[in-house]
Structure 1
């Protein structure tokens, strides 16, 4: 805090002073690199991994480049290099970006999945102590202490990085089944879906990354979503068969105390072998698990189906009535 309060004639002198202060906190030097004013790195035998990218300016608006954006570009520039492809498919390249602009400090984090994701972890925090208020000094101290712990953990992560794909799953008989990824089926980076091959059988791998790591394995099937256009081409008898398949599928889930959650037509697939449910991302235990807090509020969900609300089997029953209406079977 004393260092940022000083007057510096140029940015290099300011950054040098900042790097010396940070080096004493992290107990390791910030190295001069092409991408960043200073970098904490870990070498794991495959690549030099950036743990922290420091971007400093002597004033908040001292340059034409906004400092948090510049730090983000440094992250993107380094991890997008051709050499990084050695481990890109097996590591999301977590890094922190520490920005100090005059008397302000800000922390961001970045990961690289199919695309770069950067998000701020803090607002711009003032480093100027408030007269008679020791809480700010304590807050900054805790912030830097936590960041030091994060640097140590990230150092261990990169040193012990195992360069292996997820290439097996456990079936219902507890057998380990090997599979090979073929190609992605969606561009959703939070819940990527892949087509894969296991024992000469096409399967779908749904990797849910929102709450830790969960992998759902399903058979790959060709079919058509239950759109209005599809319904209009179906005979009355075929529509009754579709409805019966849906009722059986939901009943099977409810017997296991499971709620499907998002039982809209887009998650219903009509195939040659019958009608099936797809996209089990929202599935959860009745009256225990909850809806995603990011669910759209523009869709007419069942009563009580709100962001963060409990999953209820009654919601699936509501959707069955909607499906029956769409199939023109309500009066049957």
Structure 2
């Protein structure tokens, strides 16, 4: 693996004037993968630069699929097309081909995407859900040979993950396929029903518990980078939030997987609507606004802040009571901070609300004025 990595590094370090002069680099990538790289034509007579092709026997005419697509350019900036963007388009064209419809309808078409531009490489993963979802596993990495760093550079690029590769294929259950949680010594299974947000980064789902094969109550499943279990439980005890059923850092629950700080939240499902769904751009009734003000005061007396009091994060339940949801940014006042990137349109900076700034109770009160 390390020797093949060195050959690739040496190859991409050579200057090239045309894409076909990069054939040696492609051969080294193929050797590293242990798979032949080929061109696969789509029905509209387009093709990606290189693919790994795998034959599948689906008890019908043999078909091929590609678990990896690679787009290559001579050098970074030599052409008008970014290979990392082009490979995403190639992915979509490949799987939209009518000849692959049966596979498209049976799975989410997971594919590794690789962009190669001279001595620079980026690696991504893509799946087809209700939209195309692409995750960057790396940025643009320099993989050319740098003699000033010596052998360490080759080892850094070529040796990570070798031990895991030697164990053979291992398909763990990754989000969003976690379908259970422990409760009182039992494992509670659930079935996902739908996402509760419209955008492609949705990580909140409606699900139904399944006990002994029987479908039971609805729950909300959420996967988050940050979350205040303490504030959620406090507000639930005050009757101002849905009941928190389960919370865990997934790195603790699945130590063999890399969840990068992701946590799982399970809470009761409330019958009702968010302020956004119920009132849209209409003014809030005075009693609703008053109930939200009381909720903010309850938080403040306990020394807590919410930090994201917008219409999508406040609900009116079936009994007409106000419930606060989404405790991703919540915590102790002046101990928790806003994310680095926040919308200045939604969170005006002239109120002291800024990226990485301290979250204060005054900010919650100001957000109430904007509801």
TM-score strictly above 0.5: yes
Any unmatched runs of 5+ in structure 1?
328-332
**1:32 counterpart residue number:** 38
Q: 1:240 to 1:142 in 2, by over 3 A?
A: same
Map 1:232-243; keep pairs closer than 5 Å. Answer: 233-234=285-286, 240-243=290-293
Paired residue secondary structure (1:20): helix
Q: How big is each residue's C-alpha offset from its partner over 1:32-60, in whole Å with a ceiling of 9 and x where there is no partner?
A: 2526444457899999662x533335566
Q: How big is each residue's C-alpha offset from its partner over 1:143-196, in whole Å with a ceiling of 9 and x where there is no partner?
A: 742xx636885897964245993333345x565433332222212333422223
**2:240 counterpart residue number:** none
**1:19 counterpart residue number:** 26
2:270 aligned residue (220, 226, 236):
220
1:229 aligned residue (270, 282, 301):
282
Q: 1:174 to 1:240 in 2, by over 3 A?
A: farther
- 2-structure distance, mates of 1:224, 1:8: 57
Paired residue secondary structure (2:160): helix
- Give me the TM-score of the superposition, normalised by structure 2: 0.60
Q: 1:182 to 1:157 in 2, by over 3 A?
A: farther
- 2-structure distance, mates of 1:111, 1:69: 12
Any unmatched runs of 5+ in structure 2?
1-8, 41-46, 59-63, 210-214, 227-260
Q: How big is each residue's C-alpha offset from its partner over 1:70-106, in whole Å with a ceiling of 9 and x where there is no partner?
A: 3222333445654144342xxx8362404144xx433
212-221 or 34-43, larger mean C-alpha shift = 34-43
Q: 1:190 to 1:305 in 2, by over 3 A?
A: same
2:177 aligned residue (157, 161, 165):
165
Q: 1:162 to 1:212 in 2, by over 3 A?
A: closer
Map 1:187-206; keep pairs closer than 5 Å. Answer: 187-198=198-209, 200-206=216-222
Paired residue secondary structure (1:263): coil
Instruction: Check whether the contact 1:191–1:209 (CA below 8 A) recurs between aligned residues.
Output: no
Instruction: Check whether the contact 1:190–1:208 (CA below 8 A) recurs between aligned residues.
Output: no
Instruction: Check whether the contact 1:185–1:195 (CA below 8 A) recurs between aligned residues.
Output: yes
Matched, 1:86 2:106: yes
Matched, 1:208 2:186: no
Instruction: Check whether the contact 2:338–2:357 (CA below 8 A) recurs between aligned residues.
Output: yes
Q: 1:121 to 1:197 in 2, by over 3 A?
A: closer
Paired residue secondary structure (2:294): helix
**1:105 counterpart residue number:** 120
Matched, 1:275 2:275: no
Give the CA deviation at 1:8. Answer: 8.0
Paired residue secondary structure (2:27): helix
Give the CA deviation at 1:138. Answer: 6.6
- 2-structure distance, mates of 1:230, 1:153: 57
- 1-structure distance, mates of 2:363, 2:33: 59
Map 1:223-302; keep pairs closer than 5 Å. Answer: 223-225=273-275, 229-231=282-284, 233-234=285-286, 240-248=290-298, 250=299, 255=302, 259-271=305-317, 272-284=319-331, 289-298=336-345, 299-300=347-348
Q: CA RMSD in A?
A: 4.7
- 2-structure distance, mates of 1:136, 1:215: 44
**1:183 counterpart residue number:** 194
Q: 1:245 to 1:188 in 2, by over 3 A?
A: same
Paired residue secondary structure (1:68): helix
- 2-structure distance, mates of 1:321, 1:65: 45
1:53 aligned residue (53, 65, 69):
69
Q: 1:94 to 1:58 in 2, by over 3 A?
A: closer
- 1-structure distance, mates of 2:107, 2:196: 22
Map 1:98-137; keep pairs closer than 5 Å. Answer: 98-101=115-118, 104-112=119-127, 114-117=131-134, 119=136, 121-123=138-140, 125=142, 127=144, 134-135=147-148
